[in-house]
């Protein structure tokens, strides 16, 4: 049985969980708070980050959300999430990297730092300017997803792909942390409502972090 080391609003763990959910791969959750830098966890993953997946029976340890996703793409045929032509797959990987790098740098990373880690680990209040910057960043990124969805049915092309799952993972964490203003982003909101109602997504929306709760619209599929 796979074990997945994660915390409820880790965007990279959510990306992996959505892929595992679509593919029907079973796993057990292990709660890990990477900001505590627990020795046994850092020994396992020197980068000190979630997600990590472990199959103790077979001695397999998988680290890094993209390496994990590529592993399950290679080993599980069901629900291919990096699909289409080679150029189409490159576009899916480009957008996946966009959310994991740019959106994380501008939005999810600062929100997690200000609203979660400062609260839980340092017990200080968030910096209002950093929060405003992150929310402004989110507006820019959602302008881009609106633009993509004006031209395509899904973010990466004609079918649902890893680009959508990764984007939804990050956006759901930003939404949990109150960083998304949905006004003026009707295309992205419609696409996100569709993803929220998928069986792979629902369990994630039901989970809560200690001390930090989401706004009331967060888990409503028809917000």
Sorted by sequence, the CB contacts under 8 Å of residue 132 that are 6+ apart come out as none
In sequence order, what are the beta bridge partners of 4? 29, 53
Instruction: Among 24, 56, 67, 132, indicate the residue that binds a second copy (CB under 8 A).
Output: 67
CB 222 within 8 A of CB 193: yes
Query: Taking contact as CB under 8 A, which single stretch among the options 84-92, 154-162, 166-174, 194-202 is the one that binds a second copy?
Result: 84-92
- Of 36, 94, 186, 197, which one interacts with a second copy (CB under 8 A)? 94
Three-class SS of 154-183: ECCECCCCHHHHHHHHHHHHHHHCCCCCCC
Q: Which of 19, 62, 112, 155 binds a second copy (CB under 8 A)?
A: 62
Determine if 46 is a binding residue for a second copy (CB under 8 A). yes
H runs (alpha helix) in the chain: 11-23, 39-44, 65-75, 86-97, 109-111, 128-151, 162-176, 186-196, 202-206
- Decide if residue 77 touches a second copy (CB under 8 A): no
Draw the binding track, 135-164, toward a second copy (x: CB under 8 A; -: no contact). ---------x--------------------
Looking up tokens 């969805």 gives 149
In the complex with a second copy, the residue whose CB is nearer, 98 or 201, is 98
Q: Point out which residues bind a second copy (CB under 8 A).
A: 46-47, 60, 62-64, 66-68, 70-71, 74-75, 86-87, 89-91, 93-94, 97-98, 101-102, 144
């Amino acid at each position: 049985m796979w074990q997945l080391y994660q915390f409820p609003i880790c965007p990279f763990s959510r990306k992996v969980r959505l892929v595992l959910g679509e593919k029907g791969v079973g796993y057990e959750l292990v709660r890990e708070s990477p900001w505590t830098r627990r020795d046994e966890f850092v020994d396992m993953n020197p980068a000190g980050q979630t997600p990590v997946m472990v199959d103790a029976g077979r001695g397999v340890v998988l680290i890094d959300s993209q390496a994990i996703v590529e592993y399950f793409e290679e080993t599980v045929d069901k629900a291919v999430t990096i699909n289409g032509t080679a150029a189409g797959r490159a576009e899916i990987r480009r957008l996946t990297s966009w959310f994991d790098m740019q959106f994380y740098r501008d939005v999810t990373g600062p929100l997690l730092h200000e609203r979660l880690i400062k609260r839980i680990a340092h017990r200080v209040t968030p910096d209002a300017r950093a929060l405003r910057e992150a929310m402004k960043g989110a507006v820019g990124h959602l302008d881009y997803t609106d633009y993509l969805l004006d031209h395509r049915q899904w973010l990466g092309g004609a079918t649902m792909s890893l680009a959508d799952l990764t984007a939804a993972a990050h956006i759901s964490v930003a939404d949990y942390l109150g960083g998304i203003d949905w006004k003026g982003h009707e295309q992205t909101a419609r696409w996100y409502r569709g993803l929220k109602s998928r069986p792979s997504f629902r369990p994630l929306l039901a989970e809560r972090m200690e001390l930090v709760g989401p706004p009331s619209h967060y888990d409503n599929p028809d917000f």
